[in-house]
Amino acid sequence: MELTTHLMTTDPRKIPVDALKRFIQDIFAAEGMSGDHAATMADVLSWANLRGVDSHGISRIPRYVGMIDNGGMNPRPNLSVTTETSASLSIEADRAAGPVAMDWAMDKAIAKARNAGIGWAMVRQMTHSGAIGYYTLKAARADMAGLAFVSSLPNMAYPGTRAGSVGTSPIGIAVPGGDHAPLMLDMATAVVAGGRLAQARLTGETIPEGWALDADGVPTTDGARAVTSVPLGGHKGGGLSLMLECLISLMVGNPILAAELQERTPGHPIRQNGLCIAVNIAAFTDPAEFRAQVDRLVETLKSRDRAEGTEEILVPGERGDRVLEERTRSGIPVRDGIWTQLETVAARHGVAMPASTTPTR
Amino acid sequence: MELTTHLMTTDPRKIPVDALKRFIQDIFAAEGMSGDHAATMADVLSWANLRGVDSHGISRIPRYVGMIDNGGMNPRPNLSVTTETSASLSIEADRAAGPVAMDWAMDKAIAKARNAGIGWAMVRQMTHSGAIGYYTLKAARADMAGLAFVSSLPNMAYPGTRAGSVGTSPIGIAVPGGDHAPLMLDMATAVVAGGRLAQARLTGETIPEGWALDADGVPTTDGARAVTSVPLGGHKGGGLSLMLECLISLMVGNPILAAELQERTPGHPIRQNGLCIAVNIAAFTDPAEFRAQVDRLVETLKSRDRAEGTEEILVPGERGDRVLEERTRSGIPVRDGIWTQLETVAARHGVAMPASTTPTR
């Protein structure tokens, strides 16, 4: 996942986070979700916007609502545990919204880790996971390390192929800090996240070499023609993504890649499987000492000699933490195009649009 | 880890794998290791050579022996379990050779996974891990997925720094196939492995942009001046490596990076911590079906339309499998420089050099 905040020529409309959360919750409740599930959607989507990951925030609402309409997403899923050991479980997500399934899975992983040291929760058949850093931070707040992984549809060219053949499947890892905020890494296995390429297709901007292939499978720097992601480090990112499909999708008996590549149908739903892991620090070492050592590591790294042109050495999660601080204070910017789409969704259910500052123009 | 097989101008000496194994075992037994531990060293090192990963094979013997001499590596370690839950354990490796500690850890992880579904074995204070794919394949042979991770000394520039500040810490993942060989990914978090840069320093060859920094922290394409590795994908590889230090080193109470960066002393021993994970497929799904689905995925991927210039789409581990087949048949090539170093080590203990074909020149 990449930060997709961009300079805009006019100040966009800004929505206070509480108002935005209420709005998201109202929409998904109106779409048939339980109050709890709608609240989870509000938390996860608004959190992505707060951190500047706008590709995973409210801009997704129209698509999510469309998936509820076409049956791809189940607003009333029957989440059930289908396998269980002392440290692990599999969850049948019943086409739940990704945030609903992943949030539940990480809670279960944390509970398992309290006794077993490790909690390993697999999720079968959910829709788009949302920003997976959210779930890893839940573990960090419980004095655990949190890891989250997703296996997703083939939108990335495995090395040597011409078209989407593996997913841009993300990896998330968080650990608690002491005085410092938790460290949180949330990265795609692609050179750039799919959301960023989608944006380049819209704007038609020139993109760097090595980001994407065009429809013929040829590398391109023309954003408008950038249809297929390229794996981070070639065989490394491609291999990681392939192994995630094995570790997650094949482990829960719900192959995504082979099924999709063999039976590709247009307009397929967003289909994903996921994995949440919690590591109970107290099962291995003193959590207070662990947190103090995270602080020490951060301070040591940030005080290293800086390369030319580097003003500050940033640790994982730090950039997003700063955007969060700023947006918590001044509100979440929403571009006109997305605002208009949200108005359409809201009108359908008679949900009021959130209060916002008027755009200045 | 990269394949470091290279074209040589003359045919090098070749050693049959059985003779090489006996030689390695004799050397480490003479250095004081138990028969079991010496046999593990022989298996792990010869396996790396067999697969073409010569940077992690017998070329390491002189350094390992030097570490036994200077006390950095303990040939008679007291391996002990210091924490334990149903699914996890921590192992104090007592400065054991990495292969001895990691092999023991993966065995323990596999045993835990039989009951708990997951086995999570942490290793504290070992020396160089060796080629970590070896341990992940052990799990795959037990019908499990295997994962191995290492946190190592700062030889890679974290983004924005000028010198080694995080490790090139590797990630290994393997799953069993059905008719197909296990899939096995073994990758550094750097653009290229440290062993490959060491080689470039020796040869002085020109290296691609983006591989390394020179001693002043400036990007260089002069192999002779390439001293610091660069992380895969900048903040992604750098972040992964940093999180591995937290997940592994801080979790076992043996910080490597902060300790090394604050108290750097020349001639430090190679010091690492590790993590082996086994995932018992049978705890989640039918192993026969899993293996069949791995085959289906491999076949699907390999039959995709190929990019221009691609003759064959390769899956993780496949290239090394082919080298292994060839070298099992024709022997392991050993360059004169390494042969001479091994003769010195062997002479010290009166160990006979392995039988080999005479180099043709």
Nearest by Cα to A211 from A240, A150, A258, A168: A168
Can you tell me which residue has the tokens 């799904």?
A: B285
Chain B positions touching A307 (Cβ under 8 A) are: 157, 160-162, 217
Total tally of structural domains belonging to chain B: 2
A28 and A150 housed in the same domain: no
The residue type found at B31 is E
The answer to whether residue B100 sits within a structural domain is yes
Q: What local confidence, expressed as pLDDT, does residue A125 receive?
A: 96
How sure is the predictor about A1, in pLDDT bands with cuts at 50, 70 and 90?
Answer: very low
Which CA distances in Å does A95 have to A58, A81, A102, A166, A170? 20, 14, 12, 21, 19
Instruction: Report residue B171: phi and psi, to 5°.
Output: -125, 130
Taking the CA of residue B255 and the nearest CA in chain A, the distance in Å comes to: 8
Residue B90, domain member (yes or no): yes
pLDDT in tens, A274-329: 999 999 999 999 999 999 999 999 999 999 999 999 999 999 999 999 999 999 99
Tell me: do B313 and B181 sit in the same domain: yes
Q: How far is A193 from chain B (nearest CA, A)?
A: 12
| pLDDT of B262 higher than 70 | yes
Per-residue pLDDT at B358: 67
**Residue closest to A136 by CA, chosen among A36, A291, A275:** A275
Which domain CATH number covers A169?
Answer: 3.30.1370.60
ipTM attached to this prediction: 0.95
d(CA A333, CA A8): 10
Domain check: are A182 and A123 in the same one?
yes
Give the percent of chain A with pLDDT over 90: 88
Pair B160, B262 in one domain? yes
Report the CATH number that the domain containing residue B360 is assigned in CATH. Answer: 1.10.1530.10
CB A312 within 8 A of CB A180: no
Residues of A in contact with B247 (CB under 8 A): 145, 173, 175, 279
Buried b (16+ CB within 10 A) or exposed e, A44-76: bbbbbbbbbbbbbbbbbbeebbebbeeebbbbe
Residues in contact with B192: Cβ distance below 8 Å, sequence separation at least 6, in sequence order: B2, B211, B212, B229
Query: How many alpha carbons lie under 13 Å from residue B309 in its C-beta half-sphere?
Result: 4
- CB-nearest to B283 from A88, A173, A237 is A88
Looking at the partner chain, which of B87, B90, B191 has a beta carbon nearest the beta carbon of A86? B87
Could you give the C-alpha distances from B110 to B41, B90, B107, B289, in angstroms and in order? 20, 14, 5, 20
- Between helix B336-349 and helix B17-30 the angle, nearest 10°, is 40
Measuring CA to CA, how many Å separate B65 from each of A161, B28, B349? Answer: 45, 8, 12
- Domain carrying residue B357: 1-76+331-361
DSSP alpha helix (H) spans, chain B? 17-30, 35-50, 61-69, 98-116, 133-141, 194-203, 235-244, 257-262, 287-302, 318-330, 336-349
Helix or strand (DSSP H, E) at A113? helix A98-116
Identify whether the C-beta of residue B31 lies closer than 8 Å to the C-beta of residue B68. Answer: yes
Q: Are residues A67 and A88 in the same domain?
A: no
The answer to whether residue B240 scores a pLDDT higher than 90 is yes
In a domain, A214, yes or no: no
CA distance A161 to A31: 40
pLDDT of residue A8: 47
Residues 280-339 of A with CB under 8 A from B: 281, 283-286, 289-290, 293-294, 296-297, 300-301, 304-308, 310, 312-316
Q: For residues B265 and B335, state if they share a domain.
A: no
B128 within a domain of the structure (yes/no) = yes
The answer to whether residues A211 and A169 touch, using CB atoms and an 8 Å cutoff, is no
Comparing CB atoms, the residue among B83, B185, B258 nearest residue A239 is B185
Retrieve residue B351's tokens.
């160990």
Q: What is the pLDDT of residue A265?
A: 62
In a domain, B199, yes or no: no
pLDDT single digits (tens) B65-107: 999 999 999 999 999 999 999 999 999 999 999 999 999 999 9
> What's the pLDDT at B206?
96
pLDDT digits (tens, 9 = 90+) for A228-240: 999 999 999 999 9
* A312, A359: one domain: no
Selected residues 15-74 of chain B with any CB under 8 Å from a CB in chain A: none
The one-letter amino acid at B75: P
Range with the poorest average pLDDT among A132-136, A243-247, A267-271: A267-271
Residues of A in contact with B314 (CB under 8 A): 159-160, 235
User: Could you say which residues from 238 to 277 on chain A have a Cβ atom under 8 Å away from some Cβ of chain B?
Assistant: 239-240, 242-243, 245-247, 250-253, 255, 257-258, 261-262
Residues A176 and A54 in one domain: no
CB atoms within 10 A of CB B115: 15
Q: Is there a single domain that holds both residue A184 and residue A298?
A: yes
Question: What would the two tokens of residue A340 be?
Answer: 């208009």
Q: Residue A104 has what pLDDT?
A: 98
- pLDDT of B325-335, one tens digit each? 999 999 999 99
pLDDT value, residue B8: 47
Given the structure tokens 């296990």, which residue do they identify? B182
Residues A312 and A245 both lie in one domain: yes
In a domain, A1, yes or no: no
> Rounded to whole angstroms, how far apart are CA atoms A353 and A19?
9
Is residue A163 helix, strand or coil?
coil
Question: Which residue of chain A comes nearest to B87, CA vs CA?
Answer: A116
> In the structure encoding, which two tokens stand for residue A282, read together?
């107290």
- Is the domain of B25 the same as that of B146? no
Residue B212 lies in a domain: no
What is d(CA A128, CA A73) in angstroms, rounded to the nearest whole number? 9
B198 lies in a domain?
no
Confidence of residue B196 (pLDDT cuts 50, 70, 90): confident
Say yes or no: B23 and B69 in one domain.
Answer: yes
